[in-house]
Each structure stands twice: as C-alpha cells, then as structure tokens.
Chains A and B, each alone.
Chain A
Amino acid sequence: DAGVTQSPTHLIKTRGQHVTLRCSPISGHKSVSWYQQVLGQGPQFIFQYYEKEERGRGNFPDRFSARQFPNYSSELNVNALLLGDSALYLCASSFGGSNTGELFFGEGSRLTVL
C-alpha cells in the first residue's frame, strides 16, 4: 500500500515567489496536516484539514494557506517567499481528525529560498 506521498521532493525558489506543495494521503485517511521543519528543529504545526474543512491552524502568517480536495489530497501554498521559509515541509495523514490518531508522515518537500 502506498504511504503518504508528497511532491515535489526538492525545489528552489527566490524571494517573493510563490510555491505550491502537494500531498496525497494514505487511502482511506480523511485528515491531512502540514508541518514545517526548519533545520535543527522539530516540526511545527501549520494546518490540519479534515473532511475538506480547516480544523486547526498554527502560528504562521497569512502568506501560508492550504486546501483539501474531495479526494482528500491537499495543497499547501506559500506566497511572497522569504529566506526564512526555507525548510522541510511535511505532510501527515490520519484516519480521524482528533489527536488520538497516529499520524503517518510523508518524506517531505524540501524548499530552498534564495
């Protein structure tokens, strides 16, 4: 069975540009969460979507947005990129929307902003 898949795996952007990251959850999972992992730190929660609705939002600026599609896949969008947005962006899926469920993580999309 396929795990959580993310694309692209690596990308390089320049300051001010826009980026879209994509995530396909494990089949049957209805929740997708996004995390940002800056080098040397633990992952930081950005968003959670469950059944196509936003369930939670972390302490990130409005430049960060996301959505979930009817097939439960998800996109994370970041506008007006800053150097500090360089990070590994992790997508995680789970069957339910509460924090009692195990999160299954993808391998991440590594974003470098120059």
Chain B
Amino acid sequence: AQSVTQPDIHITVSEGASLELRCNYSYGATPYLFWYVQSPGQGLQLLLKYFSGDTLVQGIKGFEAEFKRSQSSFNLRKPSVHWSDAAEYFCAVGALGGYNKLIFGAGTRLAVHP
C-alpha cells in the first residue's frame, strides 16, 4: 500500500540554523512527491513538487528537496531558517489511479527559537 512516513513529529531549530525534514514514501511506481506547509489558521500551501528529471527541486521561500529513489526519500531542506518558518510541514505522494488524490504523512511541527 502507498504510504508516507515523516519520522520527526516535532523539530526545534534556532533562527539562522539549517533545517532538514525527513520524508520516506512507499510507492509502486515513479512517484509524484510534494511538500506542503500549514500555518495556524491557514490552509495548506505548496512549497515544491517533484515529478521527474532533476532530483534536486527548488521551491518557494528558499526551500529545496532532494529525491533519492534508492532510499525512498524526499527530504526538505533550508539553509537558514527564519522565525516565520515555524509551521507544520507535510510530505505527500500522488496516488496511483490517475486522479488527484494525495497521500499525506502525519506532519512535522517546526518550532524556531530566536
């Protein structure tokens, strides 16, 4: 069955520090992979997506993610975190079937210390 695992429930970093959020997926074919961010009181916003091609994907707000097929991973990174990055981050995979269904991980809550 298709699934997404985000091993870290909570992560705390200092402002200016680098960040890496982990995501592992289980999928039977070439996956479509996404990272979304959810701030309190707001909907989910797409940070970046991977469909094919270059395995290093650039997104909005200075985020990037690297697809590693051998590790079934799609980790999200940012070189220098800002206080406004505090939010919940969700990794998702596009489901088989051809319709617009995403399977989400449980999320990682990011706290940023000044």
Contact = CB atoms under 8 A, between A and B. Distances in A.
B44 A97 contact: no
Contacts, number: 75
Contacts of B103: 45
Interface string A29-60: 00101000000111111001010000110100
A2 to B, nearest CB: 13
A105 B32 contact: no
B43 A99 contact: no
Interface string B85-107: 00000101011011111111111
A76 interface: no
A-side binding surface: helix, strand, loop or mixed?
A: loop
The contact size tier of chain A is 20 to 34
A106 B43 contact: yes
Contacts of A96: 100
Interface of A: 3-4, 31, 33, 40-45, 48, 50, 55-56, 58, 90, 92, 94, 96-108
29 contacts: A4-B43, A33-B100, A33-B101, A41-B107, A42-B90, A42-B92, A43-B44, A44-B104, A45-B102, A45-B103, A56-B97, A56-B100, A58-B101, A90-B43, A98-B98, A98-B100, A99-B32, A99-B94, A99-B97, A99-B98, A99-B99, A100-B51, A100-B94, A102-B46, A103-B44, A105-B36, A105-B43, A105-B45, A107-B42
